[in-house]
Amino acid sequence: MKKFFMFLAVAGLMTFTANIASAQDEQAAPAATEEVAPAAEQPTDLFAGSGEEIPLHQALKTKFIEGGAGFMSLVLICLILGLALAIERILYLAFSKTNTTKLLDKVEEALKKGGVEEAKKVCRETRGPVASIFYQGLLRADQGVDVVEKTIVSYGSVQMSLMEKGLSWISLFIAIAPSLGFLGTVIGMIQAFDAIQAAGDISPNVVAGGMKVALITTVGGLIVAVILQLFYNYILSKIDSLTIDMEDASIRFVDTMVKYNK
């Protein structure tokens, strides 16, 4: 499943890169026209009230190119990889959700009818971490309730680790994206000061280019961090919900095993 989403991420990155290249070609044509005919009209600003509505994707591509393909590409890669990991975790947690009450009823009924082996069969046919924990407890049912309880606690920690797998990478991308944006900001400021030094003037036109790059990269990094942070917090909330279900179901399972042994 994870390889599939990583393939989608790479495909999305290639598609976006192709769109950027086409946008650069589109911008190169008007530039050549301006060199031949200097008296032609100036290009309309992206957010100016020109009366013509610019599509959102075209506006994003333009700002992406203006922010610098190098740093903006790194920020975009953080977004794509972070989203791929987040979607993979969301699907994994969605498939891990189990109706614990129904599962406990099936296990208890199986214990009454066919004993431990029948209960194991029920757990094997049920997906999710709760069923896996029950199965590990049933494997040691002949060793006493205390051993079953310790096994459940230990294997519950294993299932928690499996649910949290990949979250460290998402948090890394959340931290890297704004850092890359701030790095682009510093480089934009350096470009602005270089332009001032070369021109010997501090007019707004001289520093506007570098300042624009600085602001665009900062905004891009912050937007990526905000998007990934929302997904990260949602995943944490799902893990907390599943953890509560696992703990409650484990306690009730131990009670069921006590009744069965008696």
Helix, strand, or coil (residue 7)? helix
Residue 61 is predicted with a pLDDT of 56
Residue 58 is predicted with a pLDDT of 61
Interval 248-259: pLDDT, tens = 988 898 888 888
Range list of H helices, 37-99: 56-66, 69-96
Residue 18 is predicted with a pLDDT of 47
What pLDDT band is residue 149 in, cutting at 50, 70 and 90? confident
Q: What is the mean pLDDT of residues 225-240?
A: 94
Cα–Cα distance, 152 to 140 (Å, whole number) = 10
Q: Between 158 and 18, where is the model more confident? A: 158
Cα–Cα distance, 103 to 166 (Å, whole number) = 28
Give percent above pLDDT 70 in the chain.
65
What value does the mean pLDDT of the chain take? Answer: 76
Q: Record the pTM.
A: 0.70
What pLDDT band is residue 85 in, cutting at 50, 70 and 90? very high
Residue 180 is predicted with a pLDDT of 84
Residue 10 is predicted with a pLDDT of 46
Q: Between 154 and 199, where is the model more confident? A: 154
Residue 240 is predicted with a pLDDT of 92
Contact 58, 20 (CB under 8 A): no
Residue 86 is predicted with a pLDDT of 94
Cα–Cα distance, 191 to 177 (Å, whole number) = 21
Query: Does the structure show a pLDDT above 80 at 175?
Result: yes
Helix, strand, or coil (residue 38)? coil
Cα–Cα distance, 64 to 75 (Å, whole number) = 10
Query: Does the structure show a pLDDT above 90 at 171?
Result: yes
Interval 4-40: pLDDT, tens = 445 455 455 445 444 444 444 444 444 433 443 333 3
Contact 76, 12 (CB under 8 A): no
What pLDDT band is residue 53 in, cutting at 50, 70 and 90? low
Buried b / exposed e along 121-152 (16+ C-beta atoms within 10 A): ebbeebebbbbbbbbbbbebbeeebeebbebb
What pLDDT band is residue 239 in, cutting at 50, 70 and 90? very high
